[in-house]
Structure 1
């Protein structure tokens, strides 16, 4: 895949992606292209709720189109491991409106 500014140092790192439709997907960045389409491995979606803990839906190898990405961030695996997702409550994100 072609390289692009900003994402190259994150290849083979755990990242968190917020999509335009409000989904939070976590996985290992395996590759990307000039349109910022990304490939994640060992990925899962975190579904937030105000009534119960964060649900994690296993996605495995997953591709996200670049035009559906709102934010990409590096995830500190040590800090993330310390969070008890089953006790965490939060409102689901609303879709991004352009």
Structure 2
């Protein structure tokens, strides 16, 4: 199972967005991972979505995400991300993933 973990090496030091199985959206600087795909982020925050108000950003600082709770990891285009008006974006929160 080295193929899935080796692709994470490309994220070192980059800003990533992680969607968890319980519907959370986390953004931060990718610092590392272990054999069970636990991921360490720094300068991280959670983006909380609502259909009634804009996206709220909750600062988390250094944060570890358990590998068994990660659904998606992707690199963030920092230029495009900086141009987004989070106060104007309204969306339903993601639901928990049911297996």
The TM-score, its normalising length taken from structure 2, stands at 0.94
Give the Cα–Cα distance (whole angstroms) in 1 for the partners of residues 97 and 12 of structure 2.
26
How far 1:12 sits from its partner (Å)? 0.3
After superposing on structure 2, the runs of 4+ consecutive aligned residues of structure 1 that deviate more than 2 Å are: none
Aligned residue-pair number: 95
Give the Cα–Cα distance (whole angstroms) in 2 for the partners of residues 72 and 48 of structure 1.
18
> Is the partner of 2:80 in helix, strand or coil?
helix
> Is the partner of 1:30 in helix, strand or coil?
strand
**Which residue does the alignment assign to 1:54?**
55
How far 1:17 sits from its partner (Å)? 0.2
**Which residue does the alignment assign to 1:19?**
20
Give the Cα–Cα distance (whole angstroms) in 2 for the partners of residues 5 and 34 of structure 1.
10
Give the Cα–Cα distance (whole angstroms) in 2 for the partners of residues 12 and 19 of structure 1.
20
> Is the partner of 1:9 in helix, strand or coil?
helix
**Which residue does the alignment assign to 1:75?**
76
Q: 1:17-70 deviations in whole A, cap 9, x for unaligned?
A: 000000000000001011110000000000000110000000000000000000
Q: Which runs of 5+ in 1 are unaligned?
A: none
Give the Cα–Cα distance (whole angstroms) in 2 for the partners of residues 50 and 35 of structure 1.
34
Give me the CA root mean square deviation.
Answer: 0.5
The TM-score, its normalising length taken from structure 1, stands at 0.95
Q: Which runs of 5+ in 2 are unaligned?
A: none
